[in-house]
A = this chain, B = another copy of it.
Amino acid sequence: MATTENTDLQDTAPQGRIRRENRERILKAAELVFAEAGRAGATMADIAERAGLPKANLHYYFGTKEDLYRAVLDNILRLWLAPIDSLRPDADPAAALTAYVAAKMEASRSRPAASKVFANEILHGAAQVQEFLAKDLRRLVDAKAAVIDGWIAAGRMAPLDARQFLFMIWAVTQHYADFNVQVAALLGRKKLTRSDFDRITREVVRMVLRAAGLPEPPPHP
């Protein structure tokens, strides 16, 4: 296919391609290093080494370390919000909650570093995401709490505080990312495998459904 965005008769768009690929490599490396060492403990040299690029390139692409950190966080917030769409008024509560918990557990399994960077940000005061929490996320929580309240009003699940119930789901599912080192140590594992996660996910779903007064896992649709 012909490239569309350029001035003249350049056949490809190598600079755009390379820019994007390098930015992706840096963001991926930065997510891992920020997760391992924390925001202050992470060094530009570590990130550069893991990305396979010289330090100066990081500054060329992202300016300062803080700019890079914000870019990593922005990526994560998008990932973080997506699965909650399962909770819709017309859905079956047990099925919707099962899907939501399973999606959050899968995110904890496949992107633990993302969860850790976010947890670290909140832990230390959420300076970079305070507005996001107070505006966007609060609006989303209000909306999803209303969905749950609707289910309760219709007698489709047990009465409970919808917000605390959502916080419980977040706390439990993210625990398996943020505290994966502890969980593995306490289960006598070196590292949690995919089948560990499958088994744990079934247990977590069962406990969440029971907490909501929905004892039986639904037959999957």
A54 within 8 A of B: no
Instruction: Let me know if B186 and A175 touch, CB within 8 A.
Output: no
A183 to B168, CA, bound (A): 11
Identify which of A18-26, A88-96, A206-214 touches chain B: A206-214
Taking residues whose C-beta sits less than 8 angstroms from the other chain, chain A's interface range is 35 or more
Contact (A203, B164) CB under 8 Å given A38-B124, A186-B133: yes
Instruction: Let me know if B41 and A204 touch, CB within 8 A.
Output: no
Instruction: Let me know if A38 and B36 touch, CB within 8 A.
Output: no
Say which residue of B122, B172, B182, B204 sits within 8 Å of A178 (CB atoms).
B122
Give the oligomeric copy count: 2
Chain B residue with the shortest CB-CB distance to A201: B164
Contact (A210, B164) CB under 8 Å given A37-B124, A40-B37, A41-B39: no
A109 within 8 A of B: no
Chain B residue with the shortest CB-CB distance to A132: B185
A62 within 8 A of B: no
Contact (A185, B39) CB under 8 Å given A204-B168, A211-B211: no
Instruction: Let me know if A123 and B120 touch, CB within 8 A.
Output: yes
A179 to B115, CA, bound (A): 13
A171 to B172, CA, bound (A): 5
A110 within 8 A of B: no
A71 within 8 A of B: no
Instruction: Let me know if B125 and A207 touch, CB within 8 A.
Output: no
Which A residues are within 8 Å of any B CB, using their own CB? 35-41, 116, 119-120, 122-126, 130, 133-134, 137-138, 141, 158, 160-161, 163-165, 167-168, 170-172, 174-176, 178-179, 181-183, 185-188, 200, 203-204, 206-208, 210-213
